[in-house]
Homo-oligomer: A and B are copies of this chain.
Amino acid sequence: MKNAMIDIQLSHRTIREFEPEQIHEETITTLMEVARRTATSNGMQSTSIIRITDPIVKRQIADICKQEYVFRAPVLFVFVADCYRNMRIARDKGCLEESAGDMDRFFQAVTDTCLAAQNVVNAAESLGLGALYLGSILNDAQNLIKVLKLPELTFPIVGLGLGTPNQNPALKPRLGNKFKVFENSYYCFDNYLESIKDYDEEMQTYYDLRNVNQRVDSFSNQIIAKLTTASPVRQDILNVIRSQGFILKLKEMQDIIG
């Protein structure tokens, strides 16, 4: 069972370079309507989208992302988990509920936000546009919050660049579903390194357009490289979430303080 949409989904690749042409405003409006109609936890609609049109702001975001091509994306959005709006509605009704910013609401908002982002990506790709997800906006969440003037009880989750692709990257090899899809309970393999051997080899046949002269490393080597270069600022994300007013109730604090 396949169709045109699924063909597009199965050939998803990150597009990092776009034609300079702008996207029609009508298209942007449609994409934002798709975001608006996305499924939402508990009907709370806890997501907002900031569209970046100001080149100064775009530059600041590209700097945070440390990716020059972010500045060149014709359309740039930041998807924001938003518990602020509902808190304000409650407050305006004379109700001051601190649960507006509890971790349950926060995670509902994160989920809402990611679902909206992917819905927009699917709509954009169905129109022939290319998409660039930017997890790298969280390289410095605190700074981004300042740049976008995000109020309390909001938090940036993911950036999204869109445009007409001017590159055609190869499909990146992905780990097989025997490692990812299980029936009724999680299945742990005895030896992962041995089990993913074929995938490790397959990955080395792939060339990343960011560095066309060099094959990429095996998946397991990529994992090691990434896990040994963790960013202390990014690891600090929970403190930034807390500084946005979300309530982190934690038991056994002394254990954590250590």
The proximity string for A residues 79-100 relative to B, scoring 1 for CB distances below 8 Å and 0 otherwise, is 0101011101110110101011
The answer, yes or no, to whether A142 is at the interface (CB within 8 Å) is no
CB contacts (< 8 Å) of A209 on chain B: these are none
**Are A110 and B118 closer than 8 Å at their CB atoms?**
no
Q: How far is the CA of A234 from the CA of B108 in the complex (A)?
A: 11
Given contacts A12-B38, A43-B222, A227-B95, A107 and B183 within 8 Å (CB-CB) = no
* B-binding residues in A (CB < 8 A): 1-6, 9-12, 14, 24, 26-27, 30, 32-39, 41-45, 47-54, 57, 80, 82, 84-86, 88-90, 92-93, 95, 97, 99-100, 102-104, 107-108, 110-111, 114-115, 117-119, 121-123, 126-127, 131, 133, 135, 138, 147-151, 154, 157-158, 171-172, 174-177, 179-186, 188-189, 191-194, 196, 219-220, 222-224, 226-228, 230-231, 234-239, 242, 248-251, 253, 256-257
